[in-house]
Amino acid sequence: EVIREGELEKRSDSLFQLWKKKLVVLTKDSLSLFPDGHKRAKGKELGFGSILKVDCVERTGKYIYFTIVTKDRKEIDFRCPDQSCWNASITMALIDFQNKRAIQDFKSR
């Protein structure tokens, strides 16, 4: 079930830290990133079970910058056009996932 699909820019891990456009698919369980805007290519899936939080939101005139922090403390930097609110969409989906998991854990005790 796709919540949102569109384009985000991710900062590369290389020495030059260039911004690269990615096709992003947000579902209730994960965020999938596809290179060069094509779902045909093999994407990278960030399951919400491995994400700790969405952090470091900064707004400039043109972009919103934010960081996804994984449970192993890896930081992945993104930016999106100011009005797109991708950071809010990802945060809300992550909170929903974490709440459902907490309820399941509570019921299983």
CATH number, domain at 51?
Answer: 2.30.29.30
State how many domains the chain has.
1
Q: Does residue 108 form part of some domain?
A: no
Distance CA 109, CA 107 (A): 5
Tens of pLDDT, residue by residue over 55-90, are 978 988 899 999 999 999 999 999 999 888 999 999
> Which pLDDT score is estimated for 83?
86
DSSP calls for 45-65: EEEGGGEEEEEEEEE-SSEEE
> Which pLDDT score is estimated for 35?
85
Q: Does residue 109 form part of some domain?
A: no
Tens of pLDDT, residue by residue over 24-53, are 999 999 999 998 766 767 889 999 999 999
> Which pLDDT score is estimated for 37?
65
Q: Does residue 44 form part of some domain?
A: yes
- Domain coverage including residue 90: 1-101
